[in-house]
């Protein structure tokens, strides 16, 4: 069975195809951003577990349980589809998932060397740019379909606006850090190192963008699941099973290594002794809730991607912008910006406005592309 060609829908049954709806796609990406920006909140309920323990428990739900359960429910013949998938396709989806896992793990080092604001701005900036622009460049359609069309140029402008919004968010965070006391700064970025931080942020951002490549490499899987009768809206779910397995592999190895080094492996099975006993039931519940919430970011991402027409690569920009929007709103709701200056709040407001504008611009560019194709 031959893999599907880029953006080719000839393989899909006629009754399974749908007309792209970019406005609905933007809404789906906002929902994905809400899930991503919210997933860490349940982890606040985990008590007396080390990071590596609750991260791996949550990750088991994120990368194994949720993809298989929802993939089985929402698509047809998931095991058969994966068995019929060419091994080369499975390899590349899994490989990009592995590299994406490395990006996630080094994200923490970026925070250590640059601080939350500057580190996050650099990582997400790299991730947005590479994850959005490299797929059409690899496919050889960047010059013709992006630069060569009005709709493509509008989308490219939206990507630039998104990067501007990320820069504003970074500026707001840096302004906030300047207003912190010396003791608070020492706690947040006690190992500040600009040279190391830039190198690690570059690595983390580029590797994190590999998730986009993994989804792109999974187009033949989408073709197969459509042939098995899955509707277009859910065609990306089987791809997540493979890509997230790669991410699970990387994170599992790292967390188990930390469990061994820090002697925390017992936390999976025993709450310890009173009065420091961990609430095992609640810990598993909150970790599972966090992990499942994390998965829904890509559950909605794959849905949004189906609505973006031939410019589905722009979904990555919408995803990055939505994550920052909703994580910032959570920060406001949890009073993380309380007591900051008017200047800092102005930068934060500007970031939110610019990022929302970027999603509207990218959505409009997709609408122009859809209208031109109809």
329-356: per-residue pLDDT in tens? 877 777 777 777 889 889 888 988 988 8
pLDDT of residue 83: 96
Confidence of residue 250 (pLDDT cuts 50, 70, 90): very high
Instruction: Find out whether 32 and 322 touch, Cβ atoms under 8 Å.
Output: yes
Tokens (6 digits) for 235: 């065609």
Separation between Cα atoms, residue 351 and residue 348, nearest integer Å? 5
What mean pLDDT, rounded, does the chain reach?
Answer: 83
CB atoms within 10 A of CB 351: 24
The tens digit of pLDDT for each residue in 148-172 reads 888 888 888 988 888 888 888 878 8
Using alpha carbons, list the distances in angstroms from residue 108 to 8, 12, 76, 103, 120.
38, 41, 38, 9, 10
Confidence of residue 266 (pLDDT cuts 50, 70, 90): very high
Structure tokens at 25: 């796609």
H or E stretch including 350? helix 342-373
Q: Model confidence over 192-224: pLDDT tens digits? A: 566 777 788 888 888 888 988 999 899 999 999
Q: How buried is 111 (Cβ within 10 angstroms: 0-12 exposed, 13-18 middle, 19+ buried)?
A: buried
Which residue did the predictor score with more confidence, 141 or 66?
66
- Radius of gyration (Cα) for the chain, nearest Å? 21
Distances (CA, A) of 249 to 36, 100, 221, 253: 20, 11, 21, 6
Q: What angle do CA 223, 226, 232 make, to 5 degrees?
A: 105
Largest CA distance in the chain: 67
Residues 226 and 230: their CA atoms lie apart, in Å, by: 5
pLDDT of amino acid 360: 87
Q: Give the separation between CA 180 and CA 265, rounded to whole angstroms.
A: 36
What's the pLDDT band for 117 if we cut at 50, 70, 90? low
Q: Minimal CA–CA distance to 224: which of 238, 242, 243, 212?
A: 238
Report DSSP letters for 18-49, one per residue.
Answer: ----HHHHHHHHHHHHHHHHHTTTGGGG--S-
Name the more confident of 21 and 191: 21
Q: What mean pLDDT comes out for the span 9-16? A: 40
Whether the CB-CB separation of 246 and 94 falls below 8 Å is answered with yes
Q: Which two tokens stand for residue 192?
A: 């500040």
pLDDT tens figures, 308-326? 877 777 888 888 888 888 8
Tokens of 50: 């080390």
Tell me the DSSP string of 119-147: HHHHHHHHHHHHHHHHHHHHHT-IIIIII
**What's the mean pLDDT in 119-123?**
69
Phi, psi for residue 273 in degrees, rounded to 5: -105, 155
The pLDDT assigned to 6 comes to 37
In 3-state terms, what secondary structure has residue 65? Answer: helix
Percent of all residues in the chain with a pLDDT value above 70, rounded to a whole number: 87
CB atoms under 10 Å from CB of 199, counted, come to 15
- Least Cα distance to 308 among 8, 22, 16, 6 occurs for 22
pLDDT of 2 above 80: no
Q: How confident is the model at residue 107 (pLDDT cuts 50, 70, 90)?
A: confident
Give the model's confidence band at 145: pLDDT under 50 very low, under 70 low, under 90 confident, else very high: confident
Query: Which pTM does this prediction carry?
Result: 0.80
Percent of the chain with pLDDT over 90: 38
- Give the HSE-up count for residue 227: Cα atoms under 13 Å, Cβ half-sphere: 17
pLDDT grade for 72, boundaries at 50, 70 and 90: very high
Residue bearing the bigger pLDDT, 46 or 274: 46
Residue 11 binned pLDDT confidence (cut-offs 50, 70, 90): very low
Phi, psi of 147 (to 5 degrees): -70, -25
Alpha helices in 189-314 (DSSP H): 194-208, 210-217, 219-227, 237-262, 280-305
Counting Cα atoms < 13 Å in the Cβ hemisphere of 61 gives 17
Q: What is the DSSP letter of 5?
A: P
- Poorest-confidence range of 2-11, 63-72, 224-233, 276-285? 2-11
């Amino acid at each position: 069975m031959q893999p599907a060609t880029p953006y080719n829908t000839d393989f899909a049954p006629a009754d399974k195809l749908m007309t792209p709806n970019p406005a609905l796609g933007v809404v789906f990406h906002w929902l994905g951003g809400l899930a991503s920006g919210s997933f860490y909140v349940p982890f606040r309920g985990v008590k007396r577990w080390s990071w590596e323990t609750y991260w791996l428990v949550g990750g088991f739900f994120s990368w194994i349980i949720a993809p298989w359960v929802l993939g089985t429910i929402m698509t047809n013949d998931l095991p058969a589809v994966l068995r019929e998938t060419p091994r080369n396709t499975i390899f590349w989806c899994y490989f990009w998932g592995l590299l994406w896992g490395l990006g996630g793990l080094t994200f923490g080092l970026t925070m250590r060397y640059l601080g939350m604001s500057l580190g996050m701005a650099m990582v997400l900036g790299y991730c947005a740019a590479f994850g959005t622009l490299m797929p059409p460049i690899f496919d050889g359609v960047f010059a013709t379909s992006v630069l060569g069309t009005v709709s493509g140029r509008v989308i490219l402008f939206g990507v630039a606006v998104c990067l501007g919004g990320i820069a504003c968010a970074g500026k707001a965070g840096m302004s906030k850090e300047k207003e912190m006391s010396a003791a608070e700064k020492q706690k947040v970025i006690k190992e500040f190192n600009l040279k190391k931080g830039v190198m690690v942020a570059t690595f983390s951002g580029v590797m994190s963008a590999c998730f986009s490549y993994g989804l792109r490499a999974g187009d033949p899987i989408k073709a197969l699941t459509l042939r098995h009768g899955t509707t277009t809206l859910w065609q990306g779910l089987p791809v997540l099973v493979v890509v997230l397995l790669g991410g699970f592999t990387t994170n599992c190895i790292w967390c188990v290594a930390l469990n061994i080094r820090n002697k925390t492996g017992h936390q999976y099975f025993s709450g310890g002794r009173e009065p420091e006993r961990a609430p095992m039931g609640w810990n598993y519940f909150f970790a599972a809730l966090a992990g499942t919430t994390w998965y829904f970011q890509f559950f909605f991402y794959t849905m949004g991607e189906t609505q973006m027409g031939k410019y589905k690569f722009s979904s990555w920009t919408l995803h990055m912008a939505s994550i920052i929007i909703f994580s910032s709103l959570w920060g406001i709701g949890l009073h993380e910006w309380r007591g900051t200056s008017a200047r800092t709040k102005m930068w934060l407001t500007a970031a939110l406005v610019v990022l929302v504008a970027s999603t509207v611009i990218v959505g409009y560019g997709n609408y122009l592309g859809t209208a031109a194709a109809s």
